[in-house]
Structure 1
């Protein structure tokens, strides 16, 4: 696997080390996020040890005429942004304030470490060479995707021709178990193409390509191990070595077990949770001398049945087919890629190629396959991302999505609109009913505007965008009632069963899953007609193929398709992104005001509704139930209205509001949804949820002093 940690400037490292025991390097990867790395421990190895030595990677080796031996003096100059040849500044801001770079840690699969621990010295040296070749291949790829930042706010990105990294092999985990890994210290330096000038890197590119760089490392390592005669067994994105048992693997994974136990205890599930678990279970590393370490490893694995003789028996050079016998179909690869998404980044293509060729091809062969694939006649190049990553699609997918857009264009004036007065009257009644229930007026302006867009339009398509809590369900329930009153049949569908159930229960629209609806239509058991209005909920997660089938079914019947969702919240489950592209091309209704956000109402409802032995509840049960049926925003407003008109109720409600009713948070989310980021952050700062200061150094000092940064 590959993990990446940003290494901060020497200035900030000193400040943070002074305040935190252990001398860790701190960095802010993103606002409010801090990680640490003990990379300084690896910068000055004892080169008198009989162990694999640090090595350079990247074309910067030739630029600076570096020798094979990594010298600490050279590392220090590069880390500060200076030339290791003459000490001249390579970048603007070179010195103690220059961000040093990133620590890219390449870790071998556990089977490799187990075999290494039991192998004879010759095989151990060969495995170490395999590790070095694999890291060099991954760093060569990293160089190909690296960019520098230029212009205002770094908006202009330029590809580099050279990077430079100092790579440090290590052999043990923090639990002093076999764990081969290499720390590649990628300096924050990139040489411009067709130029002798250097600039600081934009490290987002390394993070964007992290998965693929790690995959290239593993595929190259697997290839070289196969050349040594080990049988490689692909294991999804990883690989195993035949002959290593699951028991041996787990027994030698104490560190992983510690992290998993911490995650289970704290209900962690995400990669960020894993990072936090790794930090909180991390102990100081006291690695013994190399030869002593190897002796310790040999005793450890011998107890598991892994001996030198056994490892020798696992090797059988020449037993595998030559790489020339293996090939990947370009069309099959394109079909598989576009089953996942409609547009594909080049790193995702390379990742899949590596996965398919694990143990057969090396990194160079995988990248050659990528180059040939990109020249395939069915591949359509769409351009580059901000960080100059190529994006492609298939010609058939492009044609399908073009056909979808054309149907929308053709249907702009194909249906009879419902009178605007009819929509207005429906919302007047809805407002009146809700106001009577809760005792104060309700604001449904956005929902009414969206309903006019849907019902008053002569188009056979309608698109509504809104994140969770913006009142989409209220809108759909009202629209469904309006269409029913005009003798239309309204039905719904969604990608997931839970969303379909919610659409039926909350909006009173009979619904099913999208797959179920399409199957019934294909079998002839679902009748659509010109009087059909079909609501597609969570349209942002629907793929282009399914959208195409649904659209054709509705349009062929002469009906109307209403698509509702939030394309910013989810990635399409199948090949997709079509909802967003249609919104961008044809527009739609936007619900922006957040009407519900989680608050802890249970406590206040118990206080208001519980009856004592000598008194009645503070609020009648019927009224309390009516308030609870409203959106959370309206519940808050209703409780506020109760407190306003009753000192007794105010004495109960006001303290709860101060502690548990996060109205300010709903306000901040609403501000963010409308693009007012600074206003939202200011609101959060006023509430003490974050600290804001124009001076970054001052902000860091304040956070450290206030102990808001917790190790």
Structure 2
């Protein structure tokens, strides 16, 4: 693995070097680990070969290692900062260096050190060097001169690499620390400056996979077989798990210390266990062992091995040369797999992500990163001119452009649905009446209807459907998800189905109106198909949605592309009706709801700091420790449950959601709101996978279950099976002695799940994770929240709403806490937001959706207000393929010519490149 950690303290940096880096975790008097200088920056400073202590320590102090002069401009090591106690404290202000630590899987360390295969250590060194050669070009520095606020790539680092062979518990633990100093040379400004490591951290998984691939490739050449794991790493095939455990004493020590701490302080079980383990590892390190050379260590490891264990280590080397495939063919297949995986969900990707996934897919094969890069160079990607490392493909650009053109070309193409229409429905307010009138008098092939969260879109659209039906038109209503379909039917809509259902049957009456709800959650492929179906049947389309909320799962946020590039003006609702002061039971609550509504309005309008500050003034944001967070949230949830107030908890990550769900359930059991008589069931929890991942054996383990969401090859919807094998064209599944091949084209009918035991009781709340039918033949919807009424001995689960899940419906998770994506479209009285402090999962869309779910109030529980305040300012918008195409001008003719010329040029280049690849492979000769 590759772990990265910043060192802020100069004192700790010195101590880390003296007591760890250059002596490892064991040492003999007078013997030191010899670090090696690395990097073009190091060369520029006159550093090469063995790392000397004086030079290393001078760099820690931000001094030139040769002259002793100050190196970079910034030298202040501390700053004054107000802490949670309201007092000022000194805080580290300068990063001294970054520690990038490369570690192989445990089985590799055991084979290298306990097994005595010295070739593996050398292979590890070469793999680290290859990975660093990819890390260095990502080095950058900030540019702030003349009012600029950008980063400039410098592609040089000053680094020292130290290889260690043992853990503090003296177990075999091969690893290398690459210490990258906070300095890089800016060739433009001709001076040393602080290192900007953002791109290095973004590409961390790519760098890790370069290391893994190079190491695995050499291991195979040595005669070891490689077994890739679902978690993303690998092990040596045939390893003894007992032997791995024997040489994992430090891991077990930390496990034991963690258990002891949790037994002593059980409230800490709600905290981040990984962080607790890391803290214990650093705080309770055993003292280093003196006078112990590596040769003695190897003797100690040898003495711990039984005869069968020695034999098992020898047998890991099969000494059979691996099957050698043509590098170009392997690289081509690996890149194709990576493209299918990434471009299924994203229009624009970092090219190094393609390299990363291609390397992971072909790990250990006889190809190099250069082979992978040679294939991507010939791919004809369309590059972002501002950031050439970001690429898209012609398919996405053409589809997005076709969607925009369909909307733009259809402007004023039709007569109004009803000329001079005026609404006389007194149930609508003035804004809603104007919206209905705007839609009824629109003349475009596509009409946009935009409304923020809680503005009453559905109520207005129901009036639109009624008025259109009065004109004799058939109105087909569609929505992306089954849950949304059920909600629309409950609201009184007719002829409602899912988008995928309509596209599967491809039937639409001529001159119909296609009314699309939650259009912002529809990706490019489905939107293109919907518009094509409408055009084929001379139908018109009304797209209702809000691009400020969560977008599509599949690639291309199609509604945003139309809004951004078609020039169409939406009919819009802006008045928020969900947070209605009339719901209040007191004057104080009335004022709170008014303020709450204003905070939601500010979030919708992009005024994120103002929205946060308003909720903070209201007392809706509680800062608490990790231990207090779940306790306070659970206490508030219980209070609302006793008051019979509909409430949903929202968090950003599934890891946090599972913890919250268990904490809330335990509290409900103590209050007898959930029965203490439990039944354990085998629940199937869906694993989010692309079709490419479903075709990859690494995605499956012994707990994987395949559940059919539609009938296929003799299996009924709801049936489950296990993976038997994979071929180049089929997924072969096994069920009750039946072995059936499932063609890859039917992968969308299969959901990959992990089987987990779950205790259920009356009163439990579940979130369904699949569509289906109850035993009463009523619809069940993915994402629906239901309450357990009772459980039968034959496996049936009776729900409080009268429906019953049969014994085969097991796709559910606990439903007290959900993701913000799952909460979108839901409306409850109160929202509780449990902030997991995950920067990557928090952005403006997540904030807006989360805080807008409640009618009466919201309460936010966070460990770091300032971090949350900063995180919500991040944009959640995914870039479109059109964003990297030539700018679209006002003149459509000019725009068409520019795009078509751009695509034609790319197509010609791609054809030429494809021919060169074919020639090199001998195809077509």
Please state whether the residue corresponding to 1:575 is helix, strand or coil.
coil
> Tell me, which stretches of 5 or more residues in structure 1 are unaligned?
15-22, 26-36, 432-443, 596-630, 645-653, 692-705
**Separation in structure 1 between the aligned mates of residue 448 and residue 41 of structure 2, nearest angstrom:** 52
1:100 counterpart = 2:100: no
Task: Pick from 340, 350, 354 the counterpart of residue 355 of structure 2.
Answer: 350
**Separation in structure 1 between the aligned mates of residue 285 and residue 427 of structure 2, nearest angstrom:** 70
1:137 counterpart = 2:83: no
Match of 2:383 in 1: 381
Task: Pick from 238, 243, 257 the counterpart of residue 243 of structure 1.
Answer: 238
**Separation in structure 2 between the aligned mates of residue 202 and residue 44 of structure 1, nearest angstrom:** 26
**Separation in structure 2 between the aligned mates of residue 137 and residue 492 of structure 1, nearest angstrom:** 55
Q: Does the CA-based 8 Å contact 2:421-2:440 persist in structure 1?
A: no
Structure 1 residues 558, 665: closer, same or farther in 2, change over 3 A?
A: same
> Offset at 1:583?
1.7
Match of 1:574 in 2: 554
**Separation in structure 1 between the aligned mates of residue 52 and residue 559 of structure 2, nearest angstrom:** 55
What are the within-5 Å matches in structure 2 for residues 425-436 of structure 1?
A: 425-426=424-425, 428-431=426-429
Q: Does the CA-based 8 Å contact 2:141-2:151 persist in structure 1?
A: yes
Q: Does the CA-based 8 Å contact 1:167-1:184 persist in structure 2?
A: yes
Structure 1 residues 709, 369: closer, same or farther in 2, change over 3 A?
A: closer
Match of 1:319 in 2: 321
Q: Does the CA-based 8 Å contact 1:5-1:104 persist in structure 2?
A: yes
- 1:57-82 CA-to-partner distances (Å, cap 9, x unmatched) read 32223222223322343333333433
- 1:566-618 CA-to-partner distances (Å, cap 9, x unmatched) read 545546433323332222113554879695xxxxxxxxxxxxxxxxxxxxxxx
Match of 2:579 in 1: 633
- 1:474-531 CA-to-partner distances (Å, cap 9, x unmatched) read 443343344334443333333333333333334635433322211111xxxx333213
Q: How many residues of Structure 1 are paired with residues of Structure 2 in the alignment?
A: 591
More strand, by proportion: 2
Please state whether the residue corresponding to 2:490 is helix, strand or coil.
helix
Please state whether the residue corresponding to 2:121 is helix, strand or coil.
helix
Match of 2:226 in 1: 232
> Tell me, which stretches of 5 or more residues in structure 2 are unaligned?
78-92, 624-862, 868-925
Q: Does the CA-based 8 Å contact 2:523-2:558 persist in structure 1?
A: yes
1:77 counterpart = 2:49: no
> Offset at 1:126?
3.0
1:45 counterpart = 2:23: yes
Please state whether the residue corresponding to 2:516 is helix, strand or coil.
strand
**Separation in structure 2 between the aligned mates of residue 336 and residue 429 of structure 1, nearest angstrom:** 48
**Separation in structure 1 between the aligned mates of residue 68 and residue 340 of structure 2, nearest angstrom:** 52
Structure 1 residues 456, 707: closer, same or farther in 2, change over 3 A?
A: closer
**Separation in structure 2 between the aligned mates of residue 368 and residue 169 of structure 1, nearest angstrom:** 28
Match of 1:550 in 2: 530
Q: Does the CA-based 8 Å contact 2:22-2:33 persist in structure 1?
A: no
Moved more, 665-674 or 394-403: 665-674
Structure 1 residues 260, 414: closer, same or farther in 2, change over 3 A?
A: farther
What are the within-5 Å matches in structure 2 for residues 198-277 of structure 1?
A: 198-236=192-230, 237-245=232-240, 252=248, 254=252, 276=275
**Separation in structure 1 between the aligned mates of residue 531 and residue 421 of structure 2, nearest angstrom:** 27
**Separation in structure 2 between the aligned mates of residue 592 and residue 532 of structure 1, nearest angstrom:** 21
- 1:316-366 CA-to-partner distances (Å, cap 9, x unmatched) read 45611346455332783545543332322212211122122201246xx22
Task: Pick from 554, 561, 565 the counterpart of residue 585 of structure 1.
Answer: 565
More helix, by proportion: 1
**Separation in structure 2 between the aligned mates of residue 39 and residue 266 of structure 1, nearest angstrom:** 36
TM-score, normalised to structure 2, is 0.56
TM-score, normalised to structure 1, is 0.71
Please state whether the residue corresponding to 2:385 is helix, strand or coil.
strand
1:476 counterpart = 2:461: yes
Structure 1 residues 158, 559: closer, same or farther in 2, change over 3 A?
A: same
Match of 2:176 in 1: 182
Moved more, 344-353 or 291-300: 291-300
Please state whether the residue corresponding to 1:680 is helix, strand or coil.
helix
**Separation in structure 2 between the aligned mates of residue 247 and residue 468 of structure 1, nearest angstrom:** 55
Match of 2:613 in 1: 682
Match of 2:602 in 1: 671
**Separation in structure 1 between the aligned mates of residue 298 and residue 142 of structure 2, nearest angstrom:** 44
- 1:669-708 CA-to-partner distances (Å, cap 9, x unmatched) read 43233222332343355356489xxxxxxxxxxxxxx999
> Offset at 1:280?
6.4
Structure 1 residues 513, 707: closer, same or farther in 2, change over 3 A?
A: closer
Match of 1:109 in 2: 105
Structure 1 residues 389, 3: closer, same or farther in 2, change over 3 A?
A: farther
Q: Does the CA-based 8 Å contact 2:221-2:321 persist in structure 1?
A: no
Q: Does the CA-based 8 Å contact 1:500-1:512 persist in structure 2?
A: yes
Q: Does the CA-based 8 Å contact 1:81-1:98 persist in structure 2?
A: no
Structure 1 residues 453, 328: closer, same or farther in 2, change over 3 A?
A: farther
**Separation in structure 2 between the aligned mates of residue 247 and residue 508 of structure 1, nearest angstrom:** 61
**Separation in structure 1 between the aligned mates of residue 40 and residue 308 of structure 2, nearest angstrom:** 40
Q: Does the CA-based 8 Å contact 1:118-1:308 persist in structure 2?
A: no
Q: Does the CA-based 8 Å contact 1:342-1:544 persist in structure 2?
A: no
Q: Does the CA-based 8 Å contact 2:476-2:512 persist in structure 1?
A: no
Q: Does the CA-based 8 Å contact 2:7-2:13 persist in structure 1?
A: no
What are the within-5 Å matches in structure 2 for residues 413-428 of structure 1?
A: 413-418=412-417, 422=421, 424-426=423-425, 428=426
Q: Does the CA-based 8 Å contact 2:599-2:611 persist in structure 1?
A: yes
Match of 1:626 in 2: none
